[in-house]
Structure 1
């Protein structure tokens, strides 16, 4: 009797060991494939989304039919993560690009079946290697998925706890929209839809750009200044002027810009009271380039006007954004986008654009407009400066003490340190664009440089919050700086104290370009003698637009 019980107990233990071995094998496949295509906290998010598959393995199922369904279901579940990881890893290894980058989406939207075959024929070795990884994963999971628990034997408490945690964590992950959209099934379904929408929208966007060029030609723009001209427009993201020592901030975040100001004196104007009227990038850029009137019946685009007047236009960017590329960048003659990872995960540093700026400045074209679109201090702040270069980390200074006295949480204070470090690196990049503009080009030619941010950022200024902030004034407080090789403003004009609106920046840029056209005016040009300020209608209360 005891021998029979021992035999059953040994058999149960062997079954449990087999199930644990199978679960471990599947977990290793999942972890390996997820790590191939993701990094940082996304690994944890993907593991949480995959956890229910492991819990399902430990759930007793007696029915042979349901057991086969579970085996197939677990195999499909795990292989979805495997395909996701391998595809992402291939794109990162080959192109340093994410699948939802405009680079990859545009390539997919612009590829037919014949081109796909030709691509595979050219890159068959790499495709074969990554396909081998998929095949190995498929074999391991296939051999393991069928070994799920069949009988309701008594499991140790640790197993019950594991199953409960896996189900709870998996449920939370699937209920969270930011996490759920990373699930391979949802992500690639949405990716497929995005590619089809992009393909469908291209024709419309192309027509919109052609119409913009036609509208520009219809108003007969001309350049009123003779001789060579080079204008550089630097647009950055998420910069709050309150964090720039150029504007009086206590931390030395902009030493190079301050050195330029000390050297250039009246040639360089710092707009002390600059504001955006939008708290996010897309509407801000639409306003900026369409003279604050993007919804008008016949909107003009400053890039189209510049081209129609005779400028060669460059658009170089560290942003990967399909909408920006289609609505603005492709109006330029030359488009150069160095970042191929969209959104907050993009870790490409703005300094990567400096070589592009130099090449454009060295181009022999007589009249040039160079638009440089920087990532600036777009969250995540820690990705906006080189690793290990955070001089404000754990430093107890006046800023840190002030934040503590204001009741700011530890995580907001940490973000402020990272934000200010991003500002310091940003100062290097922006200053280099100004230095290159001043140094390169024909010495007898006219040169101008303009810098501003699309919107501000809240990092513990008015609330215990870090990030985009349409509900606080910090979301709209921006820097704006202008330099001309031959100033055309009187030092006594005190232009820097004028309030400045980013949605009117197109008028000021047109002044720097010396553009005139039928219907152009000057009362919204911050450099003009007849400039007339009108306060914007912001969704937050601003006590004064002038300090």
Structure 2
């Protein structure tokens, strides 16, 4: 081997490429983390970067270092970009309840459907990840190399005393970072395997809920519920998914999306109460369902469960669902006496239409049991929107109407306008199902049978209302704007103007069931004269809950 002139620079240090790699890495970390966590992650990333400025001689060692530094840096880059995507789209961290619950409650089919729905946003982040990968590979290849034997020059001469002093300080800081467990567990190579294990644990907890259900029944029995009205009673609670009230003609929307509910309203008058100002307090299904059935109380307070309370009061309870959802089935559905999971195709975004459960509801309503509570869980407009109505049943397709013109005027993209048309077609189909369930409830039993029916959505949906995107949206009011309707076959005061929050719905349903118990709070029951509205605390600014 022939070495260069001894007076030449002994090392190829390439400070510029190392600095560029560090800058890219720091930028990606800052995208996904805030405050001091950025410094913590930067220190955790430092060891491999230090290797880049430490000269190596052999080609094999150089290639090994290049590969290891690149893989190490990409772990931090992908961690930052995934976190940034979740923050941008859902204002949530990967360890948050929203993300953990959704990930634990999904499967390959639903994941593929989610990708088909969100691929545009995800493609931008994926392109950024690819660009970072290429740039980091280029930088990693240009780490320090030995050009003459190390004995020919001292390390102090090569780097300088101040450089070595700085390196010593950073080395101590890095050692302290790795010695600290709260810091160390943020490392992507530790965090994400632990995150996957958390998902497995969560799924295991959902898969074995019998003891929790037994405790819920015991708590309900201990509350000693009593009935305030004698005689037979049938109550139907319809919970749907991802319906924004702003897309219902019943609420003044510009497209004719609810002709059947409007016909029911014209016929029933004040017996059908359309709550104009209804809000969810959660923007995703699992926490919304938990708050609805647990009377708006946190699980840590060991609250009552509505279905357990109904059973303890003497009702036979049905759970009829078009969702294939293990978490909801185990936490809520299995508390019922009769469970009918109509949709057994994997994935909440399966192709089973909500009409599939109408026969099951009819059978439940014809059951001779004198007191019945029938809970119906619809797919509603859960994405994919195009799967929520039959093929060829989109009257808004290729229809340049006023709604489309309004969306275009505020700068909504073509694909958002397309999804809005599909969403409205899903709402139109949904209108027929909801109206059919109301009519079936009205027709059941004898004229003397007490009947009540309530309908609401678990959360709203963003379809170009407040931003140029579609889907679940904890960051815009559209994620929380829901419809809520109440009917019962007896006169009722006008409640339409009362604001309503979905986490209090159990108090209202208990009233429809005519149940009284120790701990009842009439102030949270929208049917009661003493109802006292309290605005929920949401992660988005709502100028007024009365709009």
TM over 0.5: yes
In the aligned structure 2, how far is the partner of 1:512 from the partner of 1:337? 25
* Partner of residue 371, structure 1: 375
Aligned mate of 1:294, from 288, 292, 298: 298
Counterpart position of 1:50: none
Q: Does 1:206 align with 2:210?
A: yes
Equivalent residue, structure 1, for 2:530: 530
- For the residues of structure 1 that align with 2:202 and 2:535, how far apart are their CA atoms? 38
Q: How does 1:135-150 map to 2 (within 5 A)?
A: none
Distance, in Å, in 2 between the alignment partners of 1:421 and 1:201 is 34
Q: Equivalent residue of 1:365, what SS?
A: coil
Tell whether 2:419 aligns with 1:429: no
The secondary structure found in structure 2 opposite 1:495 is: coil
Q: Matched residue of 1:369: which SS?
A: strand
| Residues 424-456 of structure 1 deviation map (CA, whole Å, 9 limit, x = unaligned) | 000000000000000122321100000000000
Given that 2:105 and 2:203 are in contact with CA atoms closer than 8 Å, whether structure 1 keeps it comes out as no
Cα RMSD (Å):
2.5
Question: Could you list the per-position Cα deviations for residues 322-348 of structure 1 after superposition, in whole angstroms to 9, with x for gaps in the alignment?
Answer: 110110000000000111234354110
Of the structure 1 ranges 324-333 and 338-347, higher mean CA displacement relative to structure 2 is found in 338-347
Q: Secondary structure at the match of 2:530?
A: coil
Give the deviation of 1:223 after TM superposition.
Answer: 1.2
Gaps of 5+ in 1: 1-99, 105-167, 176-189
Matches within 5 A, 1:74-473: 202-203=207-208, 205-343=209-347, 345-473=349-477
Distance 1:538 1:232 in 2: 29
Mapped partners of 1:503, 1:385: distance in 2:
28
In the alignment, the residues of structure 2 paired with residue 251 and residue 297 of structure 1 have an alpha-carbon distance, to the nearest angstrom, of 44
8 Å CA contact 2:313–2:515 kept in 1: the answer is yes
Residues 197 and 520 (structure 1), Cα distance of their counterparts in 2 relative to 1, 3 Å cut: closer
- Give the TM-score taking structure 2 as reference length: 0.63
User: Normalising by the residue count of structure 1, what TM-score does the alignment of the two structures yield?
Assistant: 0.63
Residue in 1 aligned with 2:501?
501
| Number of residue pairs aligned between Structure 1 and Structure 2 | 363
Q: 1:280 & 1:342 partners in 2: Cα distance? A: 19
| Separation in 1, partners of 2:306, 2:497 | 25
Q: Is 2:515 the counterpart of 1:515? A: yes
Q: Give the distance between the partners of 2:301 and 2:506, measured in 1 at CA.
A: 18
The separation in 2 between residues aligned to 1:264 and 1:433, in whole angstroms, is 15
Question: Residues 303 and 395 from structure 1, CA distance in 2 versus in 1: closer, same or farther, beyond 3 angstroms?
Answer: same
1:191 CA displacement: 12
Q: Which whole-Å CA distance do the structure 1 matches of 2:206 and 2:460 have between them?
A: 31
Name the SS of the counterpart of 1:427 in structure 2. Answer: helix
Cα displacement (A) at 1:252: 0.3
CA distance in 2, matches of 1:201, 1:522: 32
* Partners of 1:392 and 1:420 within 8 A in 2: yes
**Which whole-Å CA distance do the structure 2 matches of 1:539 and 1:102 have between them?**
24
2:235, 2:372 within 8 Å by CA — same for their partners in 1?
Answer: yes
Output aligned runs, 1:49-60, within 5 Å.
Answer: none
Residues 1:541 and 2:523 are matched in the alignment: no
CA separation in 1, counterparts of 2:350 and 2:283? 20
Contact 2:257 2:431 in 1 (8 A): yes
- Measured at CA, do residues 543 and 445 of structure 1 come closer, stay the same or move farther in structure 2, by a change above 3 Å? same
Equivalents in 2 of 1:244, 1:343: separation in Å? 26
Q: Deviations over 1:238-270 (max 9, x none)?
A: 000000000000100000000000000011100
Compared CA separation, residues 197 and 292, structure 1 to 2 (3 A): closer
Q: Secondary structure at the match of 1:424?
A: helix
Distance 1:201 1:526 in 2: 32
